């Protein structure tokens, strides 16, 4: 194993632990995948049957583009769960990491006709970077991959209608920070709607200014710093992730 692959394994294992820490996991369902450096057709995925808090750098499974293990493993792989991920990995060169979750707030907003509304600063910053994909049932069809990729286009976030959320990034850190921002914005929207009070909409020009302010290289630096801080958190609280 190369040092580059081990580094990605440690990052992806930390990502699984963080999702569990934030309470976004769904028993043994959902997946987060990352490309293996230097191996264009190889990806890392969680062992099917383990809780996210049990994922480590060494028990991640290396799979091919159809979800089959490329090396001997004592773990199962949920091949059907890789259909959504393979669609993004194949369609986007910048999708080095793909995160798909059934988070409570994300699923709730995916069920609303309006989707995510630009009602707070975080939602304003990301709402134009969100794609939508209609629910087609359990993701078992290879043909759905093309429709997912088409619906995603050049966006970095997706609300899978009546299903969940998806984020991608050039690194595990970028994908996680985008996931955090989307889930946070969805949770705030759910909380606001629960008050049953009239919602205040910002001036469209102000919304445009927030989008413009975040569509620059500054976001990448923010994500880099945030991910470094999150990695320190995981190292302090769950150092076994890197075993």
The pLDDT score that the predictor gives to residue 169 is: 97
Over 70: is that where the pLDDT of 42 sits?
A: yes
Note the pLDDT tens digit of each residue in 107-127.
999 999 999 999 999 999 999
| 63: containing domain | 3-242
Q: What is the value of pTM for the model shown? A: 0.95
The pLDDT score that the predictor gives to residue 164 is: 96
Which is higher by pLDDT, 90 or 233?
Answer: 233
Q: Buried b / exposed e across 187-208, counting CB within 10 Å, b at 16+?
A: bbbeeeeeeeeeeeeeeeeebe
What CATH code is carried by the domain that includes residue 187? 3.40.225.10
Over 80: is that where the pLDDT of 55 sits?
A: yes
Backbone angles phi, psi at 104, to 5 degrees: -60, -50
Which is higher by pLDDT, 144 or 36?
Answer: 36
pLDDT band at 139 (very low <50, low <70, confident <90, very high): low
Over 90: is that where the pLDDT of 143 sits?
A: no
The pLDDT score that the predictor gives to residue 211 is: 86
How many whole angstroms separate alpha carbon 101 and alpha carbon 84? 11
Tokens linked to 21: 């820490």
Looking at the structure of the chain, the number of domains it has is 1
For the segment 200-208, the average pLDDT, to the nearest whole number, is 93
The pLDDT score that the predictor gives to residue 214 is: 81
How many whole angstroms separate alpha carbon 157 and alpha carbon 184? 13
The pLDDT score that the predictor gives to residue 140 is: 64
| Residue 167: strand pairing partners | 99, 157
């Amino acid at each position: 194993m190369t040092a580059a692959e081990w580094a990605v394994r440690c990052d992806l294992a930390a990502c699984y632990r963080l999702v569990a820490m934030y309470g976004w996991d769904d028993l043994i369902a959902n997946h987060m995948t990352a490309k293996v450096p230097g191996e264009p057709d190889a990806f890392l995925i969680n062992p099917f049957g383990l809780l996210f808090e049990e994922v480590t750098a060494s028990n991640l499974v290396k799979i091919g583009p159809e979800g089959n293990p490329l090396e001997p493993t004592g773990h199962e792989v949920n091949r059907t769960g890789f259909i959504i991920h393979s669609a993004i990995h194949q369609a986007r060169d910048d999708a080095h990491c793909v995160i798909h979750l059934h988070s409570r707030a994300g699923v709730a907003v995916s069920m609303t006709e309006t989707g995510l509304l630009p009602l707070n600063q975080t939602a304003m910053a990301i709402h134009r970077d969100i794609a939508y994909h209609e629910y087609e049932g359990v993701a078992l069809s290879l043909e759905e991959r093309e429709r997912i990729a088409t619906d995603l286009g050049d966006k970095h976030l997706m609300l899978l209608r009546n299903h969940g959320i998806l984020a991608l990034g050039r690194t595990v850190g970028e994908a996680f920070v985008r996931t955090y921002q989307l889930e946070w914005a969805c949770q705030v929207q759910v909380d606001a709607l629960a008050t049953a009070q009239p919602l205040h909409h910002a001036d469209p020009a102000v919304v445009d200014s927030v989008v413009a302010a975040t569509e620059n290289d500054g976001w990448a630096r923010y994500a880099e710093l945030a991910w470094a801080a999150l990695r320190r958190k995981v190292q302090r609280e769950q150092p076994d992730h890197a075993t």
